């Protein structure tokens, strides 16, 4: 590949925006950049200098400029999302050239390959605001955390949001069972045990079982009860990149895998039965979770022990109160998931939670 470099562009402007704009005449560098685009699942548009077509420079979601092309870009309109790529680690002049074209980042290959693949993949997936991620954890065993996690996910999906429900407790029996979908085709956690680096958000979504208008990442009934922390981190990050909401049913122990998840959780919900022993157990759970998660709130389940109400439970634990989780008896045949009755008390509780949480997330952004 030598001489003037051309690349057959996509047929429509919408397709062109799905990949980065590459500007270089360095054939060796272009080979590397095309390889990285292929790894990220993106189809780039390639030019030796500023694109002749109107808006090509201004509207590209990401511009990757070879160090050889800087002189051909002088005078171009300043814009964000420009990466200057070179190879000479000892060339201090690259920073001056980056300033000349208004580059946001300077990258040297091969050291920066993984970072660049991630940026290109973000572009290919049309990344916007990451999903609002809610972790639900029981203050003690049998507190109903899995039921609430399912109800939150079902309610979110019913309201039209892209929703992913993640079962992070390998000893919990599988949330797909609670949703009545244990035989539904799709991948479970063990299939991702060997994941390294970045996982494609679109590919992840398409590979998972779809139940009640949401995607579910659950455990199977095999012997695998752990996934390496780096795989957990990559899979959850992929799910969050798609936007919408992610609900995670968390284990009560904070191991390396759980810590990776907690680091990506926006809001934690600690479900506590209104009993003195449950409060004592929840205090230990809250202490461990609070070391990683900054926003932890409590939801209380009745019936109440003498002298307790939901506000008193919150006071004893020193945590913000979401309210009392309504009791909703499960159907006898297990065919209807928690929160499926839109006018039921549990669904109303979940809808109020999402309204408040999404408003708070919007204020933060």
Rounded distance, CA 254 to CA 262, Å?
9
pLDDT of residue 18: 65
pLDDT of residue 158: 96
Using alpha carbons only, give the angle 18, 19, 23 rounded to the nearest 5 degrees. 145
Domains 13-124 and 132-364 share a fold: yes
- Burial string for 239-273 (b: 16+ CB within 10 Å, else e) reads bbbbbbbbbbbbbbebeebbbbbbebbbbbbbbbb
Q: Is the pTM of this model over 0.85?
A: no
Beta strands in 250-358 (DSSP E): 267-273, 296-301, 321-324
pLDDT of residue 11: 39
How far lies 162's CA from each of 144, 212, 216, 333, 355, in Å?
24, 12, 12, 28, 15
pLDDT of residue 328: 81
Q: What are the residue ranges spanned by the domains of the chain?
A: 13-124, 132-364
pLDDT of residue 329: 74
User: What is the CATH code of the structural domain delimited by 132-364?
Assistant: 3.40.50.300
Which tens digit of pLDDT belongs to each residue from 234-289?
899 889 988 999 999 999 888 888 999 999 999 999 999 999 999 999 999 999 99
Contact 40, 48 (CB under 8 A): no
Which tens digit of pLDDT belongs to each residue from 154-182?
999 999 999 999 999 888 878 998 898 98
Between strands 210-211 and 214-217, the pairing is: antiparallel
Which regions in the chain score pLDDT beneath 70? 1-18, 127, 196, 330-335, 363-365
Please tell me the class of the 13-124 domain.
alpha beta
pLDDT of residue 365: 52
Rounded distance, CA 283 to CA 63, Å?
50
pLDDT of residue 2: 29
Rounded distance, CA 49 to CA 51, Å?
6
Q: Minimal CA–CA distance to 116: which of 194, 63, 48, 60?
A: 63
pLDDT of residue 54: 78
């Amino acid at each position: 590949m030598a001489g003037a470099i051309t690349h057959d562009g996509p047929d429509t402007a919408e397709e062109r925006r799905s990949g980065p704009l590459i500007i270089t005449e360095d054939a060796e560098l272009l080979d590397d950049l095309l390889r990285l685009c292929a790894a990220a699942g993106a189809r780039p548009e390639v030019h030796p200098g500023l694109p002749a077509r109107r808006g090509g420079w201004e509207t590209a979601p990401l511009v990757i400029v070879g160090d050889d092309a800087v002189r051909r870009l002088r005078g171009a309109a300043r814009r964000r999302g420009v990466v200057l790529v070179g190879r000479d680690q000892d060339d201090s002049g690259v920073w001056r050239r980056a300033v000349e074209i208004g580059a946001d980042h300077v990258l040297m290959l091969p050291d920066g390959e993984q970072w660049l693949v991630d940026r290109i993949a973000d572009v290919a997936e049309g990344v916007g605001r990451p999903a609002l991620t809610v972790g639900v954890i029981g203050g003690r065993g049998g507190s109903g955390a899995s039921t609430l996690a399912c109800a939150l996910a079902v309610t979110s999906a019913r309201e039209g949001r892209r929703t992913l429900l993640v079962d992070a407790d390998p000893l919990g029996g599988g949330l797909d069972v609670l949703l009545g979908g244990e035989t539904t085709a799709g991948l479970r956690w063990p299939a991702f045990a060997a994941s390294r680096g970045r996982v494609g958000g679109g590919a992840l979504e398409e590979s998972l079982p779809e139940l009640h208008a949401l995607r579910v990442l659950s455990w199977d009934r095999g012997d695998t009860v752990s996934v390496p922390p780096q795989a957990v981190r990559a899979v959850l990050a992929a799910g969050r990149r798609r936007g919408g909401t992610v609900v995670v049913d968390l284990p009560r122990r904070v191991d390396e895998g759980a810590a990776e998840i907690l680091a990506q959780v926006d809001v934690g919900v600690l479900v506590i039965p209104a009993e003195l022993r449950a409060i004592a157990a929840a205090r230990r759970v809250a202490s461990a979770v609070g070391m990683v998660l900054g926003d932890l709130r409590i939801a209380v389940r009745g019936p109440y022990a003498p002298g307790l109400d939901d506000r008193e439970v919150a006071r004893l634990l020193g945590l913000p109160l979401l309210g009392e989780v309504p009791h909703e008896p499960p159907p006898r045949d297990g065919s209807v998931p928690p929160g499926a009755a839109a006018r039921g008390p549990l669904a109303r509780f979940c809808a109020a939670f999402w309204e408040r949480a999404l408003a708070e997330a919007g204020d933060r952004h």
